[in-house]
Amino acid sequence: MLETGAETQAIVPLLETKSLLCERDDRVLFEGLSFAIHAGDITQVEGPNGSGKTTLIRILCGLSTAYEGNLFWRGKPMNRCREQFCQQHIYFGHLTGIKAPLSAEENLRWMAQCRGSSLKGLALDHAVDQALAKVGLRGFEDAPVYTLSAGQKRRVALARLFLEPVPLWVLDEPFTAIDKHGVAELEAIIEQHAKQGGAVVLTTHHELSIDPSHLKIIRLGDAREGV
Amino acid sequence: MEPVYPPLRQGLLAIFKRDLIIAFRQRSDLVNPVFFFIMVITLFPLGVGPEPEILSRIGPGVLWIAALLSTLLSVDSLFRQDYDDGSLEVLLLSPQPLFIIVLGKIMAHWCITTVPLILVSPLLGVMLFLDTETIKVLIVTLLLGTPVLSMISAIGAALTVGLRKGGVLIAVIALPLYVPVLIFGTSAVEAASMSLAFSGQLAYLAALAIFSITLAPFAIAAGLRISVSG
């Protein structure tokens, strides 16, 4: 499913950070943060509100450059393999990027094409239909997104994860506005993704029911206690 | 393992098509700039009097200034919606180079806001007593000059999209850079109305257009990265 061979995956982590430091308004959010995300990992970033979870997520996916320290993608410095990194991760943030006047299908199609998807024409249509069915939106493909509920909008954005196999998922609060049943499904999907050799980084305040032996936790917010 | 990168055209066309579809579904983006343009120009004969000599004297300048201001008014919405709904982040994290995506967005924005305006300008030219030859040159100067205006104001829009109220700031950043375009544009039309040679001004406008279309997207892409990162 993924491009690298099994041996290299075991040795070289997908994403590695070395002594990350981030400050906001003269307050150190985190410093000396070093961790590695390997294929098969589910990593949860934990911490109280305002502890810098979203900031860390935005730094990891390359949206924010307000940090010191180093990021590595498959062992290479991030600034030298940006395009490759962008092809191989999906970021799902608080703002989903879904365009309200477009239908769910049109939204997924432009997102796939902007990612430079290799899917074309009928293959893309098929992938879009399948992805929407997987998030439980069968029958809502052609409705403009502004007619959907908040949870359904989030589901349209989540459908992006299933269009094409992508190694790394970076999810910021993926369970917001999703119903109980949907949360359980999404958890199962995240576990399955990790089992197939993908990696997931996520933030959530929700109690995950994922097997704790597979779950790595990064705790933020300790810096604040020292102040 | 050398990854295969998709053709650049794909991202450009995808974003171009997306923005056109959105514009046709929310008509206000399509109608507002051209309505503003028509309104400003129809007010001029009422304000300065209906004498043909005066109107044909100031006509080229009036048309150009109205086009310039309507570009400036519409450009605030260029990245605003994408910033607010998060799709700008999706675009920024696309493996396609950002300047290609930016170019697609600005092409779409130009088609939505400026092409209707160029289409109605002959009619408004007739209203301001410009002769046929002058109107032809006016259309050519608008076709060459308005892409430059779009590119320049997009730099301002990219730098200010992260701010709550960036409208005035865009004007401050972009207006000084509009001046050469305005001078060459109006002087070509005026030269044509006096049956003088105007190819020099057109050549300058074309040079400005090529210069801005090739280089501005890089500045806009850098501006967007700063705005989103902040």
ipTM of this predicted structure: 0.86
Phi, psi of A199 (to 5 degrees): -135, 150
- B93: chain A residues, CB-CB within 8 Å: 61-63, 86, 89, 91
Is residue A197 within a helix (H) or strand (E), and if so which, with residue range?
none
Residue B164, pLDDT score: 79
Is B197 contained in some domain?
yes
- Give the tens place of pLDDT for each residue, A113-149: 888 777 777 888 888 999 999 888 888 889 999 999 9
Beta-carbon separation of A116 and B229 below 8 A = no
Distance from CA of B10 to the nearest CA of A (A): 6
Q: Can you tell me the mean pLDDT for A157-173?
A: 90
Distance from CA of B85 to the nearest CA of A (A): 5
C-alpha B29/C-alpha B80 separation (Å) is: 12
Nearest Cβ partner for B89 among A97, A109, A115: A97
**Dihedral, CA atoms, A91, A95, A96, A98, nearest 10 degrees?**
-140
Is B140 contained in some domain?
yes
Nearest Cβ partner for A83 among B5, B10, B91: B5
Distance from CA of A203 to the nearest CA of B (A): 18
What residues of A are in the B interface, CB distance below 8 Å? 3-4, 61-66, 83-84, 86-87, 89, 91, 93-102, 106, 109-111, 113-118, 144
Is B3 contained in some domain?
no
Nearest Cβ partner for B229 among A4, A66, A86: A66
Is B1 contained in some domain?
no
Structurally, chain B folds into a number of domains equal to: 1
B203: number of Cβ within 10 Å: 13
Given a cut of 60, is residue A6 above it in pLDDT?
Answer: no
Burial class (CB in 10 A: 0-12, 13-18, 19+), A78: middle
Is B81 contained in some domain?
yes
B141: number of Cβ within 10 Å: 26
Beta-carbon separation of B93 and A83 below 8 A = no
C-alpha B230/C-alpha B228 separation (Å) is: 6
Nearest Cβ partner for B228 among A63, A89, A102: A63
Tokens matching residue B187: 């002087």
3-state secondary structure of B105: helix
What residues of B are in the A interface, CB distance below 8 Å? 1, 3-6, 10-11, 13-15, 17-18, 21-22, 25-26, 84-97, 101, 225, 228-230
B213: number of Cβ within 10 Å: 16
Q: List b or e across A187-196, with b for residues whose CB sees 16 or more CB atoms inside 10 angstroms.
A: bebbbebbee
Give the residues across from A132 on adjacent strands. Answer: none
Report in angstroms the alpha-carbon separations of B134 from A102, B60, B102, B114, B206.
Answer: 42, 9, 34, 20, 18
Q: What residue ranges define each of the domains in chain A, with the CATH number in brackets?
A: 1-88+169-227 (3.40.50.300), 98-165 (no CATH)
Q: Structural domain of residue B58, as residue ranges?
A: 8-229
Nearest Cα neighbor of A105 from A176, A159, A152 is A159
Render each residue's pLDDT in chain B as its tens digit; 230 residues.
Answer: 455 666 778 889 999 999 999 999 988 888 999 999 999 999 999 999 889 999 988 999 999 999 999 999 899 889 998 999 999 999 999 888 899 999 999 999 999 999 999 999 999 999 999 999 999 999 999 999 999 999 999 999 999 998 877 778 898 999 999 999 999 999 999 999 888 999 999 999 999 999 999 999 999 999 999 999 87
